[in-house]
């Protein structure tokens, strides 16, 4: 079976001592591609260095994470735009809105989100959306700016069946990760009603490790654990889920 991790911060410091071992374990588990979302200017060098060492397996995106949007966000966006003009990336991400920690820069986050959506259209790239305590504003902006060029993933989806349908109506996918395996998330009540062609898998490594690894460092090696739980919820064969989610990811990223 072949799997794809559509969202993993494997350039993070938590992997500095054993990243090559992690990547080897991924190959053994069938996790052939790992898409890496950018955070801000501080994460670019480490991400691109990892791509340079493992170009077939570690695939970078470019974008500005909403929690990095501060008063000087225009400077950060300038660097994103500069990189987009220099070389290809698989997607514009991760971008979006985060009202969990602080809403002081909510207006700036929305502005940065809109600007990056327009860049995605310009460069014909999918977007990978971070939305925490901000789903209504996030989906509203996507709906307002939606056209035939706009596509992407709502990463770390933990919403309702109605939320998933609203996302599907604009042609977007949902990224299901470790939270899907948590009992208190009650995703077992939602996932069976999400269209199979709308699902991609992710870890958000090093965060949100799935059961039974919860509380430990997450890594792309755990994608099969997530996939197995989703297949269990849907009462379907793991092989079918793996094939469908891999196909969905490759189609979105244009086999990048």
Torsion sign across C-alpha atoms 247, 248, 250, 251: positive
Radius of gyration of the chain (CA): 17
Cα–Cα separations (whole angstroms), residue 6 to 9, 14, 73, 236: 10, 19, 26, 21
How many whole angstroms separate alpha carbon 198 and alpha carbon 208?
Answer: 21
Residue 246's pLDDT is 98
DSSP letter at 171 equals T
In which order are the strands placed within the sheet that holds 173-176? 92-98, 127-132, 152-154, 173-176, 199-201
Question: Residue 96: phi, psi to the nearest 5?
Answer: 140, -145
Residue 104's pLDDT is 94
Is 113 in contact with 97 (CB distance < 8 Å)? yes
Residue 256's pLDDT is 79
- Among the listed residues 106, 167, 112, the one whose alpha carbon sits nearest the alpha carbon of residue 133: 106
Domain count, the chain: 1
Residue 64's pLDDT is 98
How many whole angstroms separate alpha carbon 103 and alpha carbon 253?
Answer: 32
For residue 31, the surrounding DSSP H or E stretch is strand 31-36
pLDDT along the chain (256 residues), means of 10: 97 97 97 98 98 97 97 96 97 97 95 98 97 97 96 98 97 98 96 97 98 96 98 98 98 89
How many whole angstroms separate alpha carbon 241 and alpha carbon 37?
Answer: 23
- The residues near 78 (Cβ < 8 Å, ≥ 6 apart) are none
As a residue count, the chain comes to 256
- The residues near 243 (Cβ < 8 Å, ≥ 6 apart) are 1, 2
Domain residues for the domain of 138 are 3-252
The domain spanning residue 85 has which CATH number? 3.20.20.140
How many whole angstroms separate alpha carbon 254 and alpha carbon 10?
Answer: 22
């Amino acid at each position: 079976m072949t799997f794809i991790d559509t969202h993993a911060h494997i350039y993070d410091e938590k992997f500095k001592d054993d990243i090559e071992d992690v990547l080897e374990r991924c190959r053994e588990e069938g996790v052939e591609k790992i898409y890496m979302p950018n955070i801000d200017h501080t994460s670019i060098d480490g991400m691109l260095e990892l791509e340079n060492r493992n170009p077939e397996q570690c695939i970078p995106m470019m974008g500005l994470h909403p929690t990095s949007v501060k008063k000087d966000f225009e400077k950060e966006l300038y660097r994103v735009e500069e990189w987009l003009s220099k070389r290809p990336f698989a997607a514009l991400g991760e971008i979006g809105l985060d009202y969990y920690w602080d809403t002081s820069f909510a207006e700036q986050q929305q502005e940065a989100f809109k600007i990056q959506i327009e860049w995605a259209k310009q460069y014909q790239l999918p977007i990978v959306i971070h939305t925490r305590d901000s789903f209504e504003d996030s989906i509203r902006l996507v709906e307002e700016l939606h056209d035939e060029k706009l596509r992407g993933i709502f990463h770390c989806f933990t919403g309702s069946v109605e939320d998933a349908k609203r996302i599907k109506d604009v042609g977007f996918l949902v990224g299901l990760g470790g939270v899907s395996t948590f009992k208190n998330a009650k995703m077992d009540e939602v996932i069976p009603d999400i269209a199979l062609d709308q699902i991609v898998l992710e870890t958000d490594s090093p965060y949100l490790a799935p059961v039974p690894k919860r509380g430990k460092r997450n890594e792309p090696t755990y994608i099969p654990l997530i996939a197995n739980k989703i297949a269990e919820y849907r009462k379907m064969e793991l092989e079918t889920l793996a094939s469908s989610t891999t196909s969905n990811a490759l189609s979105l990223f244009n086999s990048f």
